[in-house]
Structure 1
């Protein structure tokens, strides 16, 4: 289960992920995010959105336990495509979304953060796509967005090693805009949202629309290929072993 609180003040909407202890991106949490975007569209007065996580993490990833309830390759491909559609909506939203990241943004959590327009991070936050540790691959367009921010070589290193980088290194690599001490980071993100909210609504929307034209035209094709590969990966014995090992908190014993 998961929920998202929604608060609007001075044309800034603050959305807070609430799914303790790690704000795992369950289906219910993703549905809540979609519903909050609907609310913002209906409101019509919001000029900036601040997205953050409650507790110790921004989001430590997808809800792995939920994966075990799916039955076949098609189910996993559909799950991937639905997540991609939501994160595409985030990326193409007419209101700028600022991710304020503390603790960790891993797996699906990083994929969500990468879909946001601006990222501020705590210096000691952890960023990574560790899916290969479980015998699977990123499924919410992580293989497509990460290289766009850090370059192909760094993206290969992060995904193939499953190692994370700090918020400070994420700033150096171009994955986040700025990194701060954690308490300063939230203040800075709120200040930026307030600054944006003072601008003209129509000009904000124009900038949001125009910058979207710079997206790589192969992004859609690559994301579709990722969704299909995500489904295939879950059909392997290595995926079953990896997920079981994760649930049992042990190191996986991959056969292939």
Structure 2
């Protein structure tokens, strides 16, 4: 199963992505992730979620090859709606979400962690939004929650990546640890949260979302509108075809 959910006795729920080779999720994978997070929030036994991944990287975005092998716009619409649902599910999860990021976290991966409440990363982790390379837009909303405005714009226009260690200075990544200690570090933070009164933590999550200066759901949906335009223009298909022909993973 690409998405699994496991509740520990201490109330920490592990939601894991495991979609080899690079955790580029299919349309169904994004919706399955959203469902797992929604269900976690509804389960009162869940006090905190740790969003993690198996494999060499956290998340490589959408499965571009699935999109290119589907006629019409069904895959595009499905991927956009699936990403929207998954990002929204992280943000609106009734309990805090701790992201444990290993290796690459690009495109849709940034959408997930940008909406998380706490980020712990391994020392090989890096983040990026390479959408412009594939004729798409999106996740600037979420990258802007990780880095200052001008840094976000530079990363977005150039499709450069930034190391997790560099995000510590901005306060968006809590700590960077060796790869073999990532789960331990994430569980340590999650354990601190789980030890609190769950009723208070759920109220705190709702309160913090309520005072957020940016509506991340509307902001991301606005970005997606330009992705639709680029697809109608034929630009996106051209760039995705080039990408799919030279890359085995598929990411956006």
TM over 0.5: yes
Residue number in structure 2 paired with 1:8: 7
The residue aligned with 2:213 is: 216
Aligned to 2:178: 181
Match in the other structure for 2:25: 25
Structure 1 CA distance for aligned equivalents of residues 60 and 31 of structure 2: 18
Alpha-carbon RMSD = 2.1
SS in 2 for 1:185: helix
Gaps of 5+ in 2: 248-252
Distance in 2 (CA, whole Å) between partners of 1:183 and 1:3 is 22
| Distance (whole Å) between structure 2 residues aligned to residue 220 and residue 5 of structure 1 | 25
- Count of residues paired in the alignment: 245
Q: Which shows bigger deviation, 103-112 or 217-226?
A: 217-226
Corresponding residue of 1:50: 50
| Aligned partners of 1:77 and 1:227 also within 8 Å | no
SS in structure 1 of the partner of residue 58 of structure 2: coil
Q: Secondary structure at the match of 1:52?
A: strand
- After superposition, residues 66-105 of structure 1 pair within 5 angstroms as 66-68=66-68, 69=70, 71-72=72-73, 76=76, 79-105=79-105
Shift of 1:34: 2.4
Q: Tell me, what secondary structure is at the counterpart of 1:98?
A: strand
Counterpart of 1:253 in structure 2 is none
* C-alpha deviation, 1:81, in angstroms: 4.1
Picking from 237, 244, 248, the partner of 2:245 is 248
Secondary structure of the corresponding residue to residue 58 of structure 1: coil
The reply to whether residue 60 of structure 1 matches residue 57 of structure 2 is no
> Match of 1:157?
154
Give TM-score scaled by structure 1 length: 0.87
* Structure 1 segments unaligned to the other structure (5+ residues): 251-256
- Give the Cα–Cα distance (whole angstroms) in 2 for the partners of residues 174 and 234 of structure 1: 36
Cα distance, 1:70–1:86 mapped onto 2, change above 3 Å? farther
2:235 is aligned, of 234, 238, 242, to 238
Per-residue CA distance 1:146-172 (angstroms, 9 max, x = gap): 223312101111110001111111222
CA apart distance, 1:66: 2.2
Contact 2:86 2:112 in 1 (8 A): no
Separation in 2, partners of 1:157, 1:25: 26
The answer to whether the 8 A contact 2:144-2:152 is kept is yes
Looking at structure 2, the residues matched to 39 and 185 of structure 1 have their Cα atoms a distance apart, in angstroms, of 25
